[in-house]
A and B are shown apart, each in its own frame.
Chain A
């Protein structure tokens, strides 16, 4: 059974903390993505990576960074968490083709207080 696993389902962090969200996939996919999901806004792309050590900014990269040191792992970092980063974060992976299915993790609901 193919899997994308996010390290936490729920997280509560304080304003100003550095936050790490981890994502691991076991499908040997080249592409990995971090999305943010907010009601009425759908999925907004934060960053994506098409290869190890490669990254590209998505639509809303401000306040975030990413790391991809190994093919199977893609980390999202909130350098200094703020309350407006309270959201659901979704990780996904795909093969490098436009018609391929995206596989999603279960999501991490992050609350910044």
Chain B
């Protein structure tokens, strides 16, 4: 069965520091990969997605992610954290089906002033 692993349920960084949120997936073929963000008391919104056009994907709010097939990873990064980045981040995989997403457990990003 497909699975998605997000390392660290909580990640804490200082404002201005590099943000790195890790995501690994299990799949025998390259899937579609997504990062979503959830701000407090809100639904999820798409940050970025990988659909095989390019391995480095740029998203909203300065985030980007790199697809590494050899490592089955799709880590999310941002060069300089801002207080407004405090949220929960979810990695998701769409294997090859036309409707089902498989979700990681989420990582809460905490920004220290």
Contacts of B40-57 to chain A: CB distance below 8 A: 41-46, 49, 51
Q: Point out the residues of chain A lying under 8 angstroms from B20, CB to CB.
A: none
Provide the bound-state CA to CA distance between A98 and B94, in Å: 6
Provide the bound-state CA to CA distance between A105 and B41, in Å: 11
Provide the bound-state CA to CA distance between A94 and B97, in Å: 13
Q: Point out the residues of chain A lying under 8 angstroms from B51, CB to CB.
A: 99
Q: A43-B90, A107-B42 are in contact. Are A48 and B32 (CB under 8 A)?
A: no
Give, as a whole number of angstroms, the nearest-CB distance from B79 to chain A. Answer: 25
Q: Is the CB of A48 within 8 A of B100?
A: yes
* Cβ contact of A105, chosen from B36, B43, B106, cutoff 8 A: B43
Q: Point out the residues of chain B lying under 8 angstroms from A102, CB to CB.
A: 34, 36, 44, 46, 101
* Cβ contact of B99, chosen from A9, A42, A94, A106, cutoff 8 A: A94
Contacts of A31-71 to chain B: CB distance below 8 A: 31, 33, 40-45, 48, 50
Q: Is the CB of B103 within 8 A of A42?
A: yes
Give, as a whole number of angstroms, the nearest-CB distance from A31 to chain B. Answer: 5
Q: Point out the residues of chain B lying under 8 angstroms from A99, CB to CB.
A: 32, 49, 51, 94
Decide if A101 is an interface residue (CB 8 Å cutoff).
yes
Q: List 14 A-B contacts (CB under 8 A).
A: A42-B103, A43-B90, A45-B100, A48-B100, A50-B99, A90-B44, A94-B99, A97-B98, A98-B32, A99-B51, A102-B34, A104-B45, A107-B41, A107-B42
Please list the 6 inter-chain residue pairs (A to B) with the smallest Cβ-Cβ separation, ordered nearest first. A104-B43, A42-B105, A98-B94, A99-B51, A43-B103, A99-B32
